[in-house]
């Protein structure tokens, strides 16, 4: 993925630098490794806040003194700011065509844990969007763990490590575009309608509505890739395959089968691997927001 040299967004808030933060003596990195696949594209803070709150209330939080950002951390910010700018340049004209004005979200980088308007959160939750303050939250350590999930490890030889700027970059951009997709849903009033319907539904129905919301965000991420490719020609060979691989590995069926050897469809909240791949690809192939209506689709 070609990303260097383009405009960087001014909407990035960098609140990192806390160093090896721990909650209750449990390493944040350990939590990320345990949960990064579970919430690979970011958990819904409204459903995970209580668990995080209990964790933080049970144990005292200790944070190391702020440290200067490393070169890798600085580059991570540049990458995030560039991708965020790309989403701004994609969604602004789409909203104009819809007769509105796109209000770009803020994106906050944090280390270890963060307090959002949706509640307390740790790196274990992965990237997430909070509609209450219209911010995307990301601990860039997540990207390092994601590289590991994509097969880039410290045990590889130098030739392989020299490809780290290419390997996994588009999958990480996919993560950001997905979360911005939730912001678009918020601006369009989709999220509030879904929340209202979920309040009147049983658990299985509420989960199905959550799946449709997540799949639409996947489609919006594909739409972003389509429009950004037309505008910047940023894609390289293998990038879409990266996205397909990532979508497979964060499907509810894939994760449940890997965790417990069986799947429970009624408990799905994000969609199967095939569904996530299909809706990203639909957004990418069409570049049409009207084609991302998962709520009225005959087949997910």
Q: Give DSSP secondary structure letters for 162-230.
A: TTTTTTTHHHHHHHHHHHHHHHHHHHTTHHHHHHHHHHTS-HHHHHHHHHHHHHHHHHHHHHHHHHHHH
- The confidence score (pLDDT) of residue 149 equals 62
- The confidence score (pLDDT) of residue 151 equals 52
- The confidence score (pLDDT) of residue 69 equals 78
Record the tokens describing residue 249, joined without a space: 């590995």
Distance CA 44, CA 38 (A): 12
- The confidence score (pLDDT) of residue 11 equals 97
Record the tokens describing residue 157, joined without a space: 């030889």
Report residues of the chain scoring pLDDT below 70.
17-67, 149-167
Q: Which residue has the tokens 């989709």?
A: 190
Record the tokens describing residue 105, joined without a space: 């979200």
Q: Whole-model pTM?
A: 0.80
Helix (H, G, I), strand (E, B) or coil at 82: helix
- The confidence score (pLDDT) of residue 123 equals 82
Query: Per-residue pLDDT tens for 223-233?
Result: 999 999 999 99
- The confidence score (pLDDT) of residue 43 equals 45
Q: Under a CB-based contact definition with an 8 Å cutoff, are residues 16 and 113 in contact? A: no
Task: Give domain limits for the chain.
Answer: 12-296
């Amino acid at each position: 993925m070609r990303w260097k040299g383009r405009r960087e967004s001014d909407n990035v808030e960098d609140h990192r630098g806390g160093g090896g933060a721990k909650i209750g003596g449990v390493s944040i990195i350990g939590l990320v490794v345990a949960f990064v696949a579970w919430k690979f594209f970011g958990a819904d803070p409204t459903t995970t806040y209580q668990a995080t709150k209990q964790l933080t209330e049970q144990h005292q939080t200790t944070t190391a003194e702020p440290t200067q950002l490393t070169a890798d951390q600085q580059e991570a910010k540049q990458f995030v700011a560039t991708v965020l700018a790309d989403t701004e340049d994609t969604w602004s004209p789409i909203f104009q065509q819809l007769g509105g004005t796109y209000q770009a979200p803020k994106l906050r980088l944090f280390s270890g844990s963060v307090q959002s308007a949706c509640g307390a959160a740790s790196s274990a939750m992965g990237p997430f969007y909070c509609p209450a303050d219209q911010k995307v939250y990301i601990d860039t350590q997540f990207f390092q763990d994601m590289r590991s999930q994509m097969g880039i490890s410290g045990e590889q030889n130098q030739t392989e490590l020299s490809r780290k700027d290419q390997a996994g970059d588009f999958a990480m951009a996919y993560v950001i575009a997905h979360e911005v997709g939730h912001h678009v849903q918020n601006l369009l009033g989709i999220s509030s309608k879904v929340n209202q319907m979920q309040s009147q539904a049983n658990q299985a129905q509420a989960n199905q509505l959550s799946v449709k919301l997540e799949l639409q965000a996947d489609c919006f991420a594909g739409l972003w890739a389509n429009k950004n490719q037309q505008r910047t020609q940023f894609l390289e060979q293998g990038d879409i395959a990266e996205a397909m691989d990532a979508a497979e590995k964060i499907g509810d069926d894939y994760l449940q089968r890997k965790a417990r050897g069986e799947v429970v469809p009624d408990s799905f909240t994000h969609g199967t691997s095939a569904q996530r791949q299909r809706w990203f690809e639909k957004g990418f192939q069409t570049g049409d927001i009207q084609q991302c209506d998962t709520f009225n689709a005959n087949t997910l």
